[in-house]
């Protein structure tokens, strides 16, 4: 790991010296003025995207509305942009989820049905049951008819919904150890019990065919009040996620034979296969139009909250970067593109499709910069195993004001990721493609794919910083007379074997058959 404060050593050994890109550069000054002052539009853009359009599940009307909104903003700014259809995805519209405990007492529960779950056509009531001890497959077959019309708890309960750091700070060490031992024991026992129903997919399918009233899950994210929210696989039966606390309440009532009964009124619409798009904006290169700098962020999201930091912040960051570029650097040497990708959450589909459909961009790529992990300032850029990229970054960052670049660590030469985000759709082809990364643990625990990913989690000052950084990097990469080398490090596993560079796989152009 190399601190950006040490970039002088990189610059001194590079082909092009730092003086080529002085910090006093008038373009850099104009970018600072556009991005870091009252001219910034990130707060307004993020508020509309988060609050008015809301979560942008692939195939949903909200995703379609977001593509129109992004395109309209670029038109306002005089930036040519187009919607490129690459395929389709299963359309679905979330309406509302009303989940109530009605016995042995009344309480409205915190939860919602999962994405693409069947809804209800009317309020449905039923008892809540726990999977019992089922010694063999015959016992499973005998039990399944008994759950018709009931709500089945399918996740392991948490013994506590306090985060571990809270226990470790305030509880006695013996209490912490006992809690963790209890949690491990509960999860092992539940895993053995649930395994009788088969694999995860098999268990959902069996309950779906058994005409249960609904399947209740929880996917706690180990933080105060936060759950991961993903999708359902059933065809007939609603699947809902409940908060850690309310799931625990139902489990304790059911396990202690205290007669829990629930009412569910959850509405959703299956809209059939819907077209999916990437939105691509462009500032045409004046000297090298067939070489490209690519800014990228995925536009789709999960829909347990508002999709504000995954990836509303990345979307707004790259929109604002393009606005800054148009205002301060409207005639770039290389063509500057921005990609707002669809269906990243389903496997980087939109960006993979773009790389397949635009080989000329992959071949002519000078550098791609992707952002997809929440808020806070960009503080880490990995060279992704491209052994010559650091010299270019040394030149670029040396021209960026220290208020922005001083907190950035470069990982040199780094290793290519094996999953990650949309930068991988280009890196797998050997093209220089980098992730602009913010603090990860906080994002991963509290807003990544959760029910708490809302506008209030955005740090607007940091979003200004990040958009300005992206614009400045795009400018530096466009102006750099030296192409970013594509030389790849030799990767060796811990046992000494040479490992392969990540491989590209074809993008699915429609949703899988259910």
| Residue 69, domain CATH | 3.40.630.10
Say if 509 falls within a structural domain: no
Do both 252 and 290 map to the same domain?
no
Out of 268, 299, 332, a domain closes at 268
Out of 242, 268, 294, a domain closes at 268
Q: What's the CA gap between 52 and 68, in Å, rounded?
A: 13
Do both 411 and 442 map to the same domain?
yes
Say if 87 falls within a structural domain: no
Say if 10 falls within a structural domain: yes
Do both 137 and 254 map to the same domain?
yes
Say if 177 falls within a structural domain: yes
Say if 511 falls within a structural domain: no
Say if 210 falls within a structural domain: yes
Q: What's the CA gap between 406 and 476, in Å, rounded?
A: 17
Do both 70 and 116 map to the same domain?
no
Say if 500 falls within a structural domain: no
The whole-number pLDDT of residue 20 equals: 46
Number of domains composing the chain:
2
The whole-number pLDDT of residue 497 equals: 85
Do you know the residue count of the chain? Answer: 514
Do both 261 and 291 map to the same domain?
no
The whole-number pLDDT of residue 208 equals: 97
The whole-number pLDDT of residue 21 equals: 45
Do both 123 and 63 map to the same domain?
no
Do both 386 and 473 map to the same domain?
yes
Do both 298 and 261 map to the same domain?
no
Say if 275 falls within a structural domain: no
> Quick one: 379 exposed, middle or buried, by C-beta within 10 A (0-12, 13-18, 19+)?
middle
Do both 261 and 349 map to the same domain?
no
Do both 316 and 455 map to the same domain?
yes
The whole-number pLDDT of residue 495 equals: 84
Give mean pLDDT in consecutive 10-residue pieces for the chain, a chain of 514 residues.
51 44 81 96 98 98 98 98 98 98 98 98 98 93 96 97 97 98 96 92 96 98 97 97 98 98 98 98 98 98 98 98 98 98 98 98 98 92 97 96 94 91 97 95 94 97 98 98 96 85 96 83
| Residue 175, domain CATH | 3.50.30.30
Do both 58 and 100 map to the same domain?
no
The whole-number pLDDT of residue 15 equals: 40
List, in sequence order, the alpha helices (H) in 132-199.
Answer: 137-143, 164-170, 173-195
The vertex-394 CA angle with 389 and 399, nearest 5°, equals 135
* pTM of the model as a whole: 0.94
Do both 61 and 129 map to the same domain?
no
The whole-number pLDDT of residue 491 equals: 85
Q: What's the CA gap between 498 and 219, in Å, rounded?
A: 37
Give me the domain span that covers residue 310: 2-80+284-486
The whole-number pLDDT of residue 3 equals: 54
Taking the CA atoms of the chain, what radius of gyration do you get in angstroms?
25
């Amino acid at each position: 790991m190399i601190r950006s404060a040490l970039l002088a050593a990189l610059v001194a050994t590079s082909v092009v010296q730092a003086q080529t890109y002085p910090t006093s550069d008038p373009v850099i000054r104009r970018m600072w003025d556009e991005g870091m002052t009252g001219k910034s539009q990130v707060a307004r853009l993020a508020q509309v995207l988060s609050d008015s359009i809301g979560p942008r599940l692939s195939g949903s009307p909200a995703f379609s509305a977001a593509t129109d909104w992004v395109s309209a903003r670029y038109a306002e700014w005089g930036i040519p942009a187009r919607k490129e259809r690459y395929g389709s995805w299963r359309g679905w519209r979330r309406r509302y989820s009303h989940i109530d405990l009605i016995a042995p007492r009344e309480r409205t529960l915190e939860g919602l049905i999962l994405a693409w779950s069947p809804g209800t056509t009317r309020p449905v009531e039923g008892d809540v049951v726990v999977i019992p001890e089922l010694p063999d497959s015959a016992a499973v077959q005998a039990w399944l008819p008994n759950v018709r019309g009931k709500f089945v708890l399918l996740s392991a309960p948490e013994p506590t919904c306090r985060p571990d750091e809270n226990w470790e700070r305030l509880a006695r060490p013996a209490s912490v150890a006992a809690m963790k031992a209890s949690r491990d024991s509960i999860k092992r026992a539940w895993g053995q019990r649930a395994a009788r129903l088969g694999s995860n997919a098999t268990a959902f399918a069996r309950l779906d065919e058994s005409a249960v009233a609904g399947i209740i899950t929880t996917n706690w994210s180990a933080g105060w009040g936060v759950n991961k929210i993903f999708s359902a696989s059933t065809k007939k039966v609603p699947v809902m996620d409940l908060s850690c606390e309310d799931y625990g309440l139902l489990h304790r009532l059911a396990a202690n034979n205290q007669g829990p009964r629930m009412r569910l009124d959850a509405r959703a619409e299956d809209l059939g296969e819907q077209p999916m798009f990437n939105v691509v904006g462009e500032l045409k290169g004046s000297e090298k139009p067939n070489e490209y700098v690519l800014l990228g962020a995925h536009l789709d999201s999960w829909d347990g909250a508002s999709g504000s930091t995954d990836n509303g912040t990345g979307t707004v960051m790259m929109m604002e970067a393009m606005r800054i570029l148009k205002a301060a650097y409207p005639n770039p040497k290389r063509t500057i593109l921005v990609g707002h990708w669809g269906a990243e959450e389903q496997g980087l589909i939109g960006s993979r499709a773009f790389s397949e459909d635009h080989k000329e961009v992959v071949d002519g790529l000078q550098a791609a910069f992707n952002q997809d992990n929440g808020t806070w300032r960009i503080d880490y850029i990995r060279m992704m195993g491209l052994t010559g990229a650091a010299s270019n970054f040394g030149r670029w960052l040396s021209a960026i004001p220290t208020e922005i670049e001083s907190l950035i660590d470069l990982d040199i030469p780094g290793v290519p990721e094996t999953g990650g985000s949309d930068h991988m759709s280009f890196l797998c082809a050997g093209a220089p493609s980098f992730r602009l990364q913010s603090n990860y643990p906080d994002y991963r625990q509290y807003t990544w794919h959760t029910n708490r990913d809302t506008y209030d989690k955005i740090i607007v000052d940091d979003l200004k910083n990040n958009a300005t950084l992206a614009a400045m990097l795009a400018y530096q990469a466009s102006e750099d007379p030296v192409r970013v080398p594509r030389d790849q490090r030799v990767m060796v596993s811990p046992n000494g074997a040479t490992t392969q560079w990540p491989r590209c796989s074809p993008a699915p152009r429609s949703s899988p058959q259910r």
